[in-house]
Structure 1
Amino acid sequence: MGKTVTTRVNEKLSDRIDEIAEEEGLDRSTVVRKFLADGTENWLIEKSLEDYEAGKITLWQAAERCGLTLWEIIQEAREREVHVPYTVEELEEDLRALE
């Protein structure tokens, strides 16, 4: 059983939600739940990739936090043009390790 969340929105947003619900053949509550789910998922991915870019977490940790596979988070990073925090020093260290 879910929890009830109540919020007040302006008339313009309410009208848009109603238009979308009608176009999709859904009720208002279903549309709002879908938007909340999509919005929170998008926020979590964005925040996780920001933390990855800042070097706070690994890409594996970002994927795990978001409930995505490594390949899915890599795709998200590509689409969002996330900078990979890989320094020249790390490259040199990796090259030395190969010798």
Structure 2
Amino acid sequence: VEQSDRSTTVRRLLSKAIQQWKLEHYVRLYGDGKLTLARAAHEAGVSLWEMIDYARARKVPAQYDLEELQCDLGIIYGSLDQ
């Protein structure tokens, strides 16, 4: 029974370590501009909101520039005209 508990504990620790590594890795790629935030969240296996919170906690600057804002506003205004 003790060996089973030890194995379970090791598996849980490995799982948590892997999840933490994924978060760190993909938020770094997002911060470097290599992935969108949505893609980073997907690859890390967390929700978009979890990734937003994680990036904010790590003080990773948002990768959203004026050009993207203008594009998004164009889409919004275009849908309002219809």
Structure 1 and Structure 2 fold alike (TM over 0.5): yes
2:6 maps to a residue whose letter is R
Percent of residue pairs identical: 41
Report what 1:40 is aligned to: 18
Residue ranges of structure 1 left out of the alignment (5+ in a row):
1-21
1:31-82 per-residue CA deviation (whole Å, 9 max, x = no partner) reads 1111100000000010000000000000000011012111111111122222
Distance 1:32 1:83 in 2: 35
**Corresponding pairs, count:** 70
The structure 1 residue matched to 2:30, chosen from 52, 57, 72, is 52
RMSD: 2.4
Which structure shows the bigger proportion of residues in helix conformation?
Answer: 2
Q: State TM-score, norm by structure 1.
A: 0.60
Higher RCO (C-alpha under 8 Å, 6+ residues apart): 2
| Runs of 4+ more than 4 Å apart | 95-98
2:16 maps to a residue whose letter is D
Distance 1:51 1:33 in 2: 27
The structure 2 residue matched to 1:31, chosen from 9, 12, 19, is 9
Report what 2:78 is aligned to: none
Q: State TM-score, norm by structure 2.
A: 0.71
